[in-house]
Amino acid sequence: MVEFVAIVSLIAGVLQIILFFKIWGMTNDVKALKKDHFNETVFTTKASMASSLRKNLVLGNLENVKLTLLRNFIENVESYYRGLKVGEYVKGESGKENWVDYQDQNLDEPITPFVNNLILQYGKIGEEVPVYILRMKTFRDYYKLFVKEDLIVEVEKKSE
């Protein structure tokens, strides 16, 4: 009986090691699929992004091209916004320094150059920019697009 349990344990151990390496190999397959189907490539230069866009156009992957352009638009808009001054100390009439917050002013900064650039890029591939992006004029419009409070629907409670 001890010999039988030892043989079964040995076989189970070998199978577990084989299974471990099979699963390890599958993780690489998932990474490749994720890269191909979700277009999660991080571009280090504009030239590498342009090369990827050309390859996707030639292969007929128009959805990947649009996703790449939209991701680039989002990254450019948010990078520019992060670069704006948050606030600063300004001397008042009394000579005392007061903190001036620029957050509301920053939200009113126009993003039309980014939208116009996206329109040109979409025009090159013969597509139209989504309407919700065309309506964006300022950072406030950009951030209001998916603000939680805007998506809440108020339901009237019925009187019992």
Q: Is residue 107 assigned to a domain?
A: yes
Give pLDDT tens digits along the chain (160 positions): 899 999 999 999 999 999 999 888 887 777 666 666 665 566 777 888 888 888 888 888 888 889 889 988 988 888 888 888 888 888 878 888 888 777 778 888 899 999 999 999 999 999 999 998 998 999 888 888 866 555 555 555 555 4
**Residues in the chain, total:** 160
Domain that holds residue 74: 49-147
Q: Is residue 66 assigned to a domain?
A: yes
In three-state form (DSSP H/G/I as H, E/B as E, the rest C), the secondary structure along 26-41 is HHHHHHHHHHHHHCCC
Number of domains within the chain: 1
CA of 40: how far to CAs of 3, 43, 73, 83, 149, in Å? Answer: 53, 9, 15, 24, 29
Q: Is residue 13 assigned to a domain?
A: no
pLDDT of residue 113: 93
